[in-house]
Amino acid sequence: MPRRHRQARPHRRWSVLGAAVRDRRSGSKGDGLAAIGLTSPWTRATDDMRGVKLDGRTLKGAAMSQQRVALVTGSGARRVGATVAEALAERGFALAIHYRTSAREAEQSVADWERRGVPAMAVPADLTQESAVRAMIDQVLHRFGRIDVLVNSAAIWERKPLEEVTAADVRKHFETNTLGTFLCAQHAGLAMVRQPEGGLIVNIGDWAEVRPYLHYAAYFPSKGAVSTLTRCLAVELAHRNPKVRVNCVLPGPVMLPPDLPEDEKRQAIEATLVKREGSPRHVALAVLSFLDNDFVTGVCLPVDGGRTVYAPE
């Protein structure tokens, strides 16, 4: 078993809204995190870091904050990403709220969090453009000096019969769901590589990549690739810094469309083993489980109420 370094001085723990509540020494990496929602010392930054290097560039004036920072893509609108961002804020993270078109919602979220004492910023980006992704990462690093968690939740999905699917439909889904996820994980991951404490990337896939349903022929291939790139980047980034981990959540029926016909909603719920609809909070809890357990990487975790293993008649 590797030797554990002792803390040189008492560290400051932070409450769910980032306020210091006590000083104490800790003997383990994550003691009681799930129960009390506090940060752990193993993710703290070195106090003397004054710049962040990314792809050979140094961002001047970005002193590394002692508070952990989470970037959540697609969290401007009130969907799964926003719920994940809320869960991370409750753990004491500063937030970078990414949006593409939901500017008003993103700015409102930032204002709400700052009123509650959570440092936050809104960052716009078209994730299909590498230059935009690089600029987004640079903005977060310039503001906070670090990125400890990236959650890739931005996605598109369009229902369309196979006869009507075009090459443009396929490209659009792959560019947003696959390429966008890859670029964010690549550039945020390389920033994490340069951080002594590394970082965590969580991608959002889809359980039905293993048993797709009708009328989403452009969508499911783009999500199936997310599982593969998760494993690939887990290997690549850990090779450069073993403290960088990459995992994936594969949600099931956690946020059914409000306009979904009642019979289809009933079928989706009955197709689970737990016989009920999930919620975005279940996805957020899965993200937190990856945060708490630093011995897990390269894993794709279904959060689907047993849908993956159950084939109803």
Please return the burial class of 298, using the count of CB atoms within 10 Å of its CB with bins 0-12, 13-18 and 19+: middle
- Residue pair 183/42 in contact (Cβ under 8 Å)? The answer is no
> 34 lies in a domain?
no
> 4 lies in a domain?
no
Reading the block at residue 133, the tokens are: 């992704």
> 10 lies in a domain?
no
> 19 lies in a domain?
no
Q: Count CB-CB contacts under 10 A for residue 271.
A: 18
What is the spatial distance between Cα 187 and Cα 127, in angstroms, rounded to a whole number?
A: 12
Contacts of 239 (CB under 8 A, 6+ apart): none
Where in the sequence is the domain holding 190, given as residue range(s)?
49-309
Predicted pLDDT at 27: 39
- 20-30 burial code (b ≥16 CB/10 A, e <16): eeeeeebeeeb
> 31 lies in a domain?
no
Predicted pLDDT at 65: 67
Single pTM value for the model: 0.80
> 37 lies in a domain?
no
Give Dmax over CA atoms of the chain in angstroms.
Answer: 65
Q: Which of 19, 251, 30, 22 is nearest to 152 (CA)?
A: 251
What is the spatial distance between Cα 103 and Cα 84, in angstroms, rounded to a whole number?
A: 18
- Residue pair 173/211 in contact (Cβ under 8 Å)? The answer is no
How confident is the prediction along the chain (313 residues), in pLDDT tens digits per residue? 444 444 444 433 333 333 333 333 333 434 333 333 434 333 333 333 334 444 555 444 455 668 999 999 988 777 899 999 999 999 999 999 999 988 889 999 999 999 999 999 999 999 999 999 999 999 999 999 999 999 999 998 888 999 999 999 999 999 999 999 999 999 999 999 999 999 999 999 999 899 888 889 999 999 999 999 999 999 999 999 999 999 999 999 998 777 677 888 888 899 999 999 999 999 999 999 999 999 999 999 999 999 999 877 6
What is the spatial distance between Cα 141 and Cα 135, in angstroms, rounded to a whole number?
A: 10
Predicted pLDDT at 82: 93
> 36 lies in a domain?
no
Reading the block at residue 44, the tokens are: 């703290």
Reading the block at residue 157, the tokens are: 């999905």
Q: Provide the number of structural domains found in the chain.
A: 1
What is the spatial distance between Cα 72 and Cα 280, in angstroms, rounded to a whole number?
A: 14
Predicted pLDDT at 313: 64
Q: Which of 250, 251, 275 is nearest to 265 (CA)?
A: 275
Q: Any idea what the CATH number is for the domain that residue 57 is in?
A: 3.40.50.720
> 55 lies in a domain?
yes
